[in-house]
Every structure is written in C-alpha cells, then in structure tokens.
Structure 1
Amino acid sequence: MRKKSWMKIHTYLSLFFLPFALVYAITGVGYICGFQQDSFANIYEIPLDSMPERGQEKAALLELLNTHHLKIPANQEVRFIKGNPAIGNLAYSASISKDSEGKPTFRVVERSLYGVLLLMHKSHGTQFSLLGFKLSAFDIFAIGFGFSLLLFYLSGLIVTSFCKRDRLVSFGILGLGVVACALAVYVSI
C-alpha cells in the first residue's frame, strides 16, 4: 500500500475512535485518582426488616420504589448480583442486599454519566453472546479500538518511513520506552 492510503486509514480510524479514546482516557485517569462508578451518583439506602421471599423479589422492589416515591426503572427484569435481587440498568438500579452488618438494605443508585462510562470502560454493559464470548456493544467497539491503536502506530511509522533521517534516535527512544515500561511494571508489583 502507498503512504497516501496509510494516511487515510490513520486519519479516518483516528477520527472514528476519538470518542472512545476520550472515554478511556477520562475514566482511566479518574479511576486511578479514586473516582469509582458511584462517584457523583445519587444513592438512596433504606434499612429493611427482612429480605423478600424467593419469587417475591420483583414485587418487593416495585413496592419499595412506589412507597418511597422513587422512579421505576424501565428494565424490571430481576437479576441476581451476588445472590441479591436487582432491577434496572447501569444508569439507574434498585436492589436489596445485606449491609456490612448483615442487615437487609434497599438501595437505589442513579449514576452520573461518568459512572456509566467507567462501567463501560470496565466492561459491565448489557451483554450478549458472540462467538462464545459475553460482550456488550461497547465491548465490540473497544476491541476494535484496541486493534486500531496498533494500526495507528503502524500507519504512523509507515507514513514517516520510520523517521529516515533520525532512525538511530528513533530506535533509541523506542528502547527507552521499552525500558521505562518494564521498570514501571517491575516497581509497581
């Protein structure tokens, strides 16, 4: 392929995946700085006397939401997370679980956009089976983004002909990058 074709691949893939790169950059830095998926979320917790009986989880959740004048999630399919009933999605959910003392608690979480995007980054979206893997739609694009990052570097190196004039310096900087990455992993273990 000619350099011009590599430039187009580089440019168009870069533009297409720019929103994904921003999501990963913002949520990655936020997560490292301590901002979790429930940061900036509205959370309501109400202690309960007991857990609902098996088969009555949906009715109990809906009754609690109505009693406390809270929004009913669009997705009312009950799923069990670590044995605890929950309805809703990543953005808005209601659940009943036991707190740190073992007492039942009704919990409603309305996440911020950051919280939802962080959960996308961590691959927690609604998942379906594809070729034996459990993936969300975001996961599929994330995998495409990962492969595109390799293409970005490859196409960038081809377009610049791997810095013909400064090839020795370029290889030296690449070597420094390898050493810096290896040391960062070693020191962080």
Structure 2
Amino acid sequence: MMKFDKSLWMKVHLYLSLFFLPAALIYALTGALYIFDVRENADASIQEFVLPSAPQKGEEQEIILSVLKTHNLKIPNDTQVRIQKGSATMGSIKYSASLTTNKQGESIVRVTERGLYGILLLMHKAKGKFYFDIIAVGFALSLVIFYLSGLIITSFCKKKRKQALLAFALGLTLTALAVWASI
C-alpha cells in the first residue's frame, strides 16, 4: 500500500488555503449575495443622459466623449469602444460609459461608477481583465487539492471510515436531489 507523507500534505493544505483565502472570501460573499439578487450595480452611481436623436453607426465614441465633457464627467482611461450586450461601451468595470437605449426607446449615455462590491461581483463573473481569472482557475484547481490533501491528512478517515462514507453518500444524495428538483 502506498504511504503518503502527511506532514507534506498538511503544508500543501495549509499554504494553499492561506494563499487562496482572499479569493474564497470574495467568491463566498458575492456568490451568496448574488443568490439574494444583489447585483453588480447595487452600490453603483449611475447617471443617464437622453440624447436628442439616435447616433449614426461609427459615431459612438465621439457621442459618449461629448456627453462626458458636456457634463464635466471623468473620461474613462480606456476610451476604445466595444460592444457589450448590444451597447457601445468604454471604460472598465469600475467606471464606464455606454451608449444604449432606455425602456422608452430613447438613446442614452449611461455613466456607471461601481463600488467595491460591484467590482468584486464582476470579478466573480469573470468580467474583469484576465489577471483575476488566473487566480480564479488556480483557486478552482486548489479546491480539488484541498479535498485530496484533507483526505490524505486524515488517512482517508481510517478510524471512522463508515461515518465518512455515510457523510459523503448523504452529501451526494442531497446534492443530486437539489439538482434534480431544480430542473
């Protein structure tokens, strides 16, 4: 039978846990609040400016910048226009300006400045730059290592294997039932 070095796995478990603790807290907080319908604009400052007419294709950047200057608003660091959900948008997940249509069908420029929660939720949803995505994938992989190292540290629950298997079976059953009941 293969013998595992428990002290090595305890160190792996400990240091990976500590390294990824900030990411775990972000995912836990934003995930739980998202379930309760607290979205990325919950702590945002949003201003909307109705345009006199619909802009022509290709004028989006010029129109957005003109509205920002007219109302003495900050110009985003990144003024390159990209299309997101049918709207021409510039800026970042913290501060952005977009050219869109409101519920009345009017063309508007919407300026959004998000607080910390909104930024973190968008990071959770992989809407930021790829830097946080690297942390997110590392965290996801480390979760597998956490469980594996935890099992190795406890020698696969040698003394309480029956109870451990029962707990796993119960968790598997309840998870499967929750998935089944949700579809």
Aligned counterparts, 1:88-103, within 5 A: 88-103=91-106
Q: For 1:34-83, what per-residue CA distance to the aligned partner results, in whole angstroms no more than 9, with x for missing partners?
A: 10011110000121122323332222111101111211111111112234
What is the alpha-carbon root mean square deviation over aligned residues?
1.2
Aligned length: 180
Structure 1 counterpart of 2:52, one-letter code: D
Match of 1:133 in 2: none
Match of 2:10 in 1: 7
Q: Is the 8 A contact 1:48 1:106 kept in 2?
A: yes
Match of 1:69 in 2: 72
Q: Is the 8 A contact 1:37 1:115 kept in 2?
A: yes
Q: Is the 8 A contact 1:51 1:96 kept in 2?
A: no
Which consecutive residues of structure 2, in runs of 5 or more, have no partner in the other structure?
none
Q: Percent identity?
A: 50
Secondary structure at the aligned position of 2:156 is classed as coil
Secondary structure at the aligned position of 1:46 is classed as strand
Please state how far the C-alpha of 1:84 moved relative to its aligned partner: 2.4
Say whether 1:19 aligns with 2:13: no
Q: Is the 8 A contact 1:47 1:103 kept in 2?
A: yes
Secondary structure at the aligned position of 2:17 is classed as helix
Say whether 1:174 aligns with 2:168: yes
CA distance in 1, matches of 2:157, 2:43: 46
Aligned counterparts, 1:34-73, within 5 A: 34-73=37-76
Please state how far the C-alpha of 1:91 moved relative to its aligned partner: 0.5
CA distance in 1, matches of 2:87, 2:66: 17
Which consecutive residues of structure 1, in runs of 5 or more, have no partner in the other structure?
127-135
Please state how far the C-alpha of 1:162 moved relative to its aligned partner: 1.7
Secondary structure at the aligned position of 1:93 is classed as strand
Please state how far the C-alpha of 1:12 moved relative to its aligned partner: 0.7
Structure 2 counterpart of 1:9, one-letter code: V
Say whether 1:31 aligns with 2:47: no
Q: For 1:103-127, what per-residue CA distance to the aligned partner results, in whole angstroms no more than 9, with x for missing partners?
A: 101100001111111111111113x
Q: Is the 8 A contact 1:95 1:108 kept in 2?
A: yes
Q: Is the 8 A contact 1:43 1:108 kept in 2?
A: yes
Say whether 1:87 aligns with 2:90: yes
Structure 2 counterpart of 1:27, one-letter code: T
What's the TM-score, normalizing by structure 2? 0.94
Work out which of the residue numbers 143, 149, 174 in structure 2 matches 1:155.
149
What's the TM-score, normalizing by structure 1? 0.91
